[in-house]
Amino acid sequence: MITIVAKFTLKAGKKQEFIQAVTPMIEGSRKESGNVSYNLFEDIRNNNILTFIEEWKDKGAIDFHNQTEHFLTGLDVIKELSENIEITQYQKL
């Protein structure tokens, strides 16, 4: 299993637009057979920081995901709305 933590620091005032843009991405991702979980979180102390925590069955599942339309469409928008992006892939110890 691979866990992805994808942290976005949004440009000021872009939160609602961000959430709208990622909603189809969340729904589409959860339907992929290689997805285990896919959730969006907000930093309690700074609500301009939004983070996905995603669990995927294996590397193949992520490779597939990265080619889906819901991912590519969402990614374009969230890149534009973000000031800083930090994506890390993890394996459990």
Contact with a copy of itself (CB under 8 A) among 20, 37, 39, 66: 39
Question: Residue 85: which of 9, 26, 3 has the closest Cα?
Answer: 9
State how far the Cα of 41 lies from the Cα of 56, in Å rounded to an integer.
17
Nearer Cβ to a copy of itself (16/33): 16
Instruction: Kindly state whether residue 91 participates in binding a copy of itself, applying the rule CB under 8 A.
Output: yes
Nearer Cβ to a copy of itself (11/15): 15
Q: Would you say how long the chain is, in residues? A: 93
Instruction: Kindly state whether residue 66 participates in binding a copy of itself, applying the rule CB under 8 A.
Output: no
Collapsing DSSP to helix, strand or coil, 32 comes out as coil
